[in-house]
Amino acid sequence: MSTELSKVKADRAQAEARLAALEHGGVSGAAGAGVDTESLDQLKQLRVMEAEAAQALASLGKDLGPRHPKYVAAQASLAQVRARIAEEQARVLSAARSEATAARMREESLSADIEKLKNELAQANESEVKLDELQREADASRTLLETFLARSKEQSMQQSFQQPNVKVLATADPPVDPSRPNKAMVMLLSVFAFMVVGVSAAFAREAFDRGLRSGEQIERLTRLPSLGLVPALGGMARPEEYVVRRPGSAFGEAIRNIYAGVVLPEHGEPPKLILVTSSLPREGKTTVVLSLARLLALSGKSVLVVDCDLRRPSVHRALGRPQDPGLVDLLFRREPLERVIQQDPASPARFIAAGTAHRNAAALLGSPELPELLRDLRGMFDVVLIDSAPVLAVSDPRVLSVMVDKTVFLVRWGHGDRGTVSEALKRLAAAGADMAGVALTRVDLRRNARYGFGDSGYYGRAVRYYYR
């Protein structure tokens, strides 16, 4: 079939060559394009007739006008000859195209047949390989089966020859009690093992627990007074409103303990400017500031809250008030003091919001205007509480700590890493802050009672009837 394909390809090439010669050379290329002799003779004869008709027309044109009947007849004769030439050329070209198309189709058909035979041969070879593989597997399985049958037959023959040589001498008596294990010993060892595991787990938890959970741990780590434990209030959206509804609750008493820890050690005039900060965000700064402000205001003191967290202010949001005008507008001297002081909607306390957002607003905390403002506020209010950003986030609390009388540091119960707390207090000490102490916030009282610390019973059952 390869030889036949080569011949068909040659025929197709010749047919296409004849077609190309006719398309480009016309009748002049027909002789070299392999056109049949009859068609070639017909074309040559028509060309001779065309030349004669053209010569006759030219001769008549010399003597007769273009409208003369003989001249018109000669023109018609020439046109008729040329029409026959065009018709013959078209017939020859059409025949050449048909021949080239037929040759191309024969080549494609033969190529497809050869490709199909190749595929069938490849499939046959693959099937033969699979058949050989299956044959080998069958032979191996047959050999294995024959081996098993032979061994089974041997074992059957051996068993038929063996006779048991056994007789019962005496009947065994079943024991009344098990010989092992010793239940009492097992129970004793289990209790001892559980005790060892429990004590080890407790020591391991204490060793790997980096969170602070008691005032004892606070004082031992920071060498600062513990200002108490502020209980968590569950899922309350605004815990700072809790002290207004229940000022005599355990939460309210914990807030009062913080203020008592700030003012009682002072023998002279009590501190008026109090900064509240922490090492990281979400440790309860705004909640403690607003709760303390409301309790003091309800007790008759004039209290002002100043939101100095200019990067992420939250006092106005907690109180449901606008952010501006506020501290930024006051320090830029865009608004007077009386315009920026707003009234707390739930208590007699007042507050100054952060003010209009400004990309360089935080730099205002280091400006000379802020110490001057704090001096003015000292003379206007009994207590000024300052809510600030976290110490490890920005430098603002360190700048503010040297402008106030006392600094209160908050640590979230069980979350404040000891290294983080130590680093934050070290930075405040380096800035010259006068630390009042450290308070634990968001304390889970039930879990805290299980630890058995000295302050774990502050708000336990023994004293709960004191709170309302």
Mean pLDDT taken over the chain = 83
- 167 within a domain of the structure (yes/no): no
Share of the chain above pLDDT 90, in %: 38
| Sheet bearing 406-412, strands edge to edge | 226-231, 435-443, 406-412, 273-278, 383-387, 303-307, 350-352, 341-343
Query: Are residues 120 and 212 both part of a single domain?
Result: no
Query: Are residues 112 and 258 both part of a single domain?
Result: no
Query: Are residues 122 and 218 both part of a single domain?
Result: no
Query: Are residues 281 and 400 both part of a single domain?
Result: yes
**Residue 435 tokens, joined:** 């630390």
Query: Are residues 254 and 398 both part of a single domain?
Result: yes
How much is the pLDDT for 305? 98
Residues forming a β-bridge with 411? 440
What 3-state class would DSSP assign to 456? coil
- 190 within a domain of the structure (yes/no): no
Query: Are residues 308 and 445 both part of a single domain?
Result: yes
Measured at the alpha carbon of residue 423, what is the angle toward residues 420 and 427, in degrees to the nearest 5? 140
CB 308 within 8 A of CB 459: no
Tell me the mean pLDDT in the region 51-60: 83
Query: Are residues 257 and 390 both part of a single domain?
Result: yes
Query: Are residues 114 and 252 both part of a single domain?
Result: no
How much is the pLDDT for 359? 74
How much is the pLDDT for 358? 73
Phi and psi, residue 305, nearest 5° = -105, 130
- 236 within a domain of the structure (yes/no): yes
- 184 within a domain of the structure (yes/no): no
Q: What domain range includes position 264? A: 206-466
CB 350 within 8 A of CB 342: yes
pLDDT digits (tens, 9 = 90+) for 284-304: 999 999 999 999 999 999 999
- 168 within a domain of the structure (yes/no): no
pLDDT digits (tens, 9 = 90+) for 387-412: 999 999 999 999 999 999 999 999 99
What 3-state class would DSSP assign to 305? strand
pLDDT digits (tens, 9 = 90+) for 62-109: 887 788 888 888 888 888 888 888 887 788 878 878 888 888 888 788
pLDDT digits (tens, 9 = 90+) for 4-24: 778 877 877 887 777 777 777
Q: How many domains does the chain have?
A: 2
- 306 within a domain of the structure (yes/no): yes
Query: Are residues 122 and 232 both part of a single domain?
Result: no
Write the single-letter amino acid at 6: S
CB 33 within 8 A of CB 97: no
Query: Are residues 378 and 280 both part of a single domain?
Result: yes
Asked if residue 255 has pLDDT above 60, the reply is: yes
pLDDT digits (tens, 9 = 90+) for 310-346: 999 999 999 999 998 999 999 988 899 999 999 999 9
How much is the pLDDT for 372? 95
Write the single-letter amino acid at 77: S
- 186 within a domain of the structure (yes/no): no
Asked if residue 171 has pLDDT above 80, the reply is: no
How much is the pLDDT for 20? 79
Query: Are residues 124 and 210 both part of a single domain?
Result: no
Tell me the mean pLDDT in the region 35-44: 70
How much is the pLDDT for 178? 64
How much is the pLDDT for 210? 61
Asked if residue 205 has pLDDT above 60, the reply is: no
CB 225 within 8 A of CB 260: no
pLDDT digits (tens, 9 = 90+) for 353-371: 999 887 776 678 888 999 9
Where helices occur in 64-182 by DSSP H, the ranges are 69-161
DSSP at 281: S
Residues 6+ apart with CB under 8 A from 330: 336, 337, 340, 352, 355, 373
Domain boundary residue among 101, 128, 155? Answer: 128
Split at pLDDT 50, 70, 90, the class of 445 is confident
Domain boundary residue among 76, 102, 128? Answer: 128
How much is the pLDDT for 427? 97
How much is the pLDDT for 75? 82
How much is the pLDDT for 36? 61
Which among 422, 437, 421 has a CA at the least distance from the CA of 275? 437
Residues 6+ apart with CB under 8 A from 4: 110
**Residue 172 tokens, joined:** 């065994």
Q: For residue 101, count CB atoms less than 10 angstroms from its CB and return exposed for 0-12, middle for 13-18, buried for 19 or more.
A: middle
How much is the pLDDT for 458? 56
Domain boundary residue among 112, 128, 144? Answer: 128
Beta pairing, strands 350-352 & 341-343:
antiparallel
Split at pLDDT 50, 70, 90, the class of 206 is low
CATH number at residue 391: 3.40.50.300
Write the single-letter amino acid at 395: S
Asked if residue 26 has pLDDT above 70, the reply is: no
Residues 6+ apart with CB under 8 A from 376: 337
CB 441 within 8 A of CB 282: no
Which among 417, 182, 162, 436 has a CA at the least distance from the CA of 288? 436
- 134 within a domain of the structure (yes/no): no
Asked if residue 415 has pLDDT above 90, the reply is: no
